[in-house]
Amino acid sequence: MKRYARIALLIMLAAGLWLALKPTLGSPRIPFLPFRWSEYFDLMDFWLNLGAFGILGTTVWLAFGALEKAFSRMWLMTGFITLLNILLELMQSSIPGRAMDKADVWAGLFGCVGGIVVGMVLQLLSIRKKTGHKEPQVLFLDQTGRLGGAELMLLDIAAARAADSEVILFQDGEFRTALENVGVKTSVLELGDEASTVDKQAGLKRVLRSIPGILQLMLRIVQAARSFDVVYANTAKALIIGGPAARLAGRPLIFHLHDIIADGHFSLLNQQALIHCANFCAQSVIANSEATKAAFIACGGRAELCVVIPNGFRIPTERSPASEVKALRAGLGIPSDAWTVLMAGRLAHWKGQHVLLEALKVLPAAHAVLLGDALFTDEDRKYAQELHTQADAPELAGRIHFAGFQKETMAYFDMADVVVHASVYPEPFGRVIVEGMLAGKPVIASRAGGAAEIVQHEETGLLVDPGSASELADALKRLQGDSRFAMELSRQAQQTAQDIYALSAVQEKIESVIRQTASRVFRKESETAETQTIQQAA
Ligand code: UDP
């Protein structure tokens, strides 16, 4: 196509130059047409100019365009063609009785940009790569390089099908290293600065400024997606960018919904963008709890797309050695006999670490370990500082231990007497709750969202009202004072967690969604491969 476009371009340029020069050389009649060359320019009104430069824009793009440098090339080409346009207008104005027509210059500019966009679309449609693999090939997309709950889940999913998967991250970080360590091919396509600072609460102005970066990344994903059977968006930004990209690439899309799409978690604008994008672009939505599914539907999401699959976990066959736990306690400065509460998870206001600190004021003998760090926003980092200030209060001094983010968390769970989850907004799922249950620890969780689905109150843990420090303090006192009850809760919780959240079962369910979603494209290709094998055998 490139070669033909370049030949067409040469012919167009030669014809254009000839048309432009002809009137200056005299004004004979145009063969077969009832007007003279000098009258030709009168016919080149706004609309003709628009069309002519549109065709020129498309041809130039097909001849020299490159999607990975879409924006720089587009501006360069538009500038070049506009210069040419102005030059032609100046030449015309040298003909007696004719003046430069600004409207024609504008027409040329609009035509050229429109033509270039048409060229891009044609180029996208022409890139069709066949994969020819046995298993569906999946392109996973995730916006962050940090290891949050959604990323830890993706790590396990991609690791289990590493030979048939690739991951694109929009940010570099320890997530890339973790994926590469388990053999998953991973690349980083960075979002522009503007787009990467747009968070879940962003308003219209910030969203608009992020558009060029988003479009650029989208085009690169379209190109990449054509080598896969399915695109799998694991986060909100991955959906917004990957959804339209999957459609343009003609690939089905799975959206793994790890968030509650509602006030408190997302601005109204972002809620609408996510829902429309999922409804329009996704063939399947995997919700990580009934709560995330319900919020998706309440916001306008299509119920028929949605299937609930919880997070999966490796069931540990052995726990940390006592010596490791002892060393950990000593390292954190916790007395060996101190009753210890663990709260694991990133430091963010909605995760409610401040509620635990408030509750601990009335449990003078208890220590707490806050495992995790501020991962995503400036707001989170500010909150982390506030927590340190809160922990310095005389009633708490020396009892709150900040452990920072740790890749290996098992010993922290093993060290704890109780695991607390205290999110003040509904938690979409709550991996840390299941991890506490699997560790055989009694758990206390906020009565909302996915957390309330994981924990059966008084059977596999205790539920308290979100944000209520006094209820949390009462639940902690109850477990501290009644070790038999605490032990019975944790025994039941461990069994339940092993039954429901085993990774292998969850992976199987996700694989089945991938197969179903891919089936349209996948079936066609397997059939072709089978036919070829049969023909070769014959
Ligand atoms: N986590 C971790 N290291 C830390 C703190 C937390 O690996 O220092 C893990 C934690 O064990 C859990 C995940 O991060 O698996 C947090 O998931 P959750 O669903 O609780 O919260 P999310 O980050 O998804 O909001």
pLDDT tens digits, residue range 379-427?
Answer: 999 999 999 999 999 999 899 999 999 999 999 999 999 999 999 999 9
Q: Tell me, yes or no, whether 177 and 302 share the same domain.
A: yes
| Residues 156 and 507 sit within 8 Å (Cβ to Cβ) | yes
112 in a structural domain: yes
pLDDT at 243: 95
The number of distinct structural domains making up the chain is 3
**CA–CA separation, 488 and 197 (whole Å):** 46
> Residue 70 has which token pair?
């879409």
92, 125, 158 - which closes a domain: 125
Q: Tell me, yes or no, whether 67 and 154 share the same domain.
A: no
**Does 527 have pLDDT greater than 50?**
no
162 in a structural domain: yes
pLDDT at 106: 83
57 in a structural domain: yes
Which residue type sits at 199?
D
Q: Tell me, yes or no, whether 278 and 240 share the same domain.
A: yes
**Band of the pLDDT at 525, cuts 50, 70, 90?**
very low
pLDDT at 135: 87
| Residues 95 and 22 sit within 8 Å (Cβ to Cβ) | no
Average pLDDT over all residues of the chain: 87
**Does 171 have pLDDT greater than 90?**
yes
125, 153, 177 - which closes a domain: 125
535 in a structural domain: no
Higher pLDDT pick, 100 / 532: 100
Q: Tell me, yes or no, whether 443 and 491 share the same domain.
A: yes
Indicate the top mutation candidate among 288, 432, 454, 506 to test ligand 1's pocket, ranked by most ligand atoms within 8 A of CB: 432
- Tokens 């044609």: give the residue: 122
Q: What is the mean pLDDT of residues 215-238?
A: 93
Residues facing residue 8 across a β-bridge:
none
431 in a structural domain: yes
Cα 532 to ligand 1 centroid, rounded to whole Å: 47
Q: Tell me, yes or no, whether 228 and 298 share the same domain.
A: yes
* Domain CATH number, residue 495: 3.40.50.2000
63, 95, 125 - which closes a domain: 125
Q: Tell me, yes or no, whether 6 and 82 share the same domain.
A: yes
Q: Tell me, yes or no, whether 215 and 296 share the same domain.
A: yes
**CA–CA separation, 1 and 6 (whole Å):** 9
Phi, psi angle pair for 306, to nearest 5°: -90, 135
- Domain hosting residue 142, numbered range: 138-196+205-308
Whose CA is closest to atom 16 on ligand 1?
A: 149
pLDDT at 524: 46
HSE-up of residue 339 (Cα within 13 Å, Cβ side)? 16
314 in a structural domain: no
| Residues 155 and 173 sit within 8 Å (Cβ to Cβ) | no
Cα 79 to ligand 1 centroid, rounded to whole Å: 50
pLDDT at 522: 42
88 in a structural domain: yes
Whose CA is closest to atom 24 on ligand 1?
A: 149
- The continuous run of DSSP H or E covering 376 comes out as none
Which range of 18-22, 449-453, 522-526 scores highest in mean pLDDT? It is 449-453
What confidence tens digit (pLDDT) does each residue in 104-127 have?
788 888 889 999 999 888 877 765
**Does 523 have pLDDT greater than 50?**
no
- List the helix and strand counts (H, then E) for the chain: 22, 13
pLDDT at 200: 60
pLDDT at 230: 96
**Does 185 have pLDDT greater than 90?**
yes
Quick check: pTM over 0.85? no
**CA–CA separation, 95 and 133 (whole Å):** 64
Q: Tell me, yes or no, whether 419 and 383 share the same domain.
A: yes
Q: What is the mean pLDDT of residues 309-325?
A: 94
> Residue 102 has which token pair?
């600004």
108 lines ligand 1 (CB under 6 A): no
Q: How many CB atoms lie within 10 A of CB 271?
A: 21
Q: Tell me, yes or no, whether 187 and 299 share the same domain.
A: yes
Which positions ≥6 away from 235 have C-beta within 8 Å? 141, 142, 143, 144, 150, 258
**CA–CA separation, 57 and 81 (whole Å):** 8
Q: Tell me, yes or no, whether 9 and 30 share the same domain.
A: yes
Cα 469 to ligand 1 centroid, rounded to whole Å: 22
Cα–Cα–Cα angle for 246, 249, 255, rounded to 5 degrees: 10
Quick one: which atom of ligand 1 is closest to the CA of 403?
Answer: 8
- Tokens 């601990």: give the residue: 360
Q: Tell me, yes or no, whether 347 and 261 share the same domain.
A: no
Indicate the top mutation candidate among 177, 369, 371, 446 to test ligand 1's pocket, ranked by most ligand atoms within 8 A of CB: 371
> Residue 368 has which token pair?
């707490």
pLDDT at 109: 87
Q: Tell me, yes or no, whether 113 and 143 share the same domain.
A: no
173 in a structural domain: yes
Indicate the top mutation candidate among 152, 328, 414, 438 to test ligand 1's pocket, ranked by most ligand atoms within 8 A of CB: 152
Which residue type sits at 64?
F
Q: What is the mean pLDDT of residues 228-245?
A: 95
Cα 468 to ligand 1 centroid, rounded to whole Å: 22
**Does 534 have pLDDT greater than 80?**
no
**CA–CA separation, 513 and 519 (whole Å):** 10
**Percent of the chain residues topping a pLDDT of 90:** 62
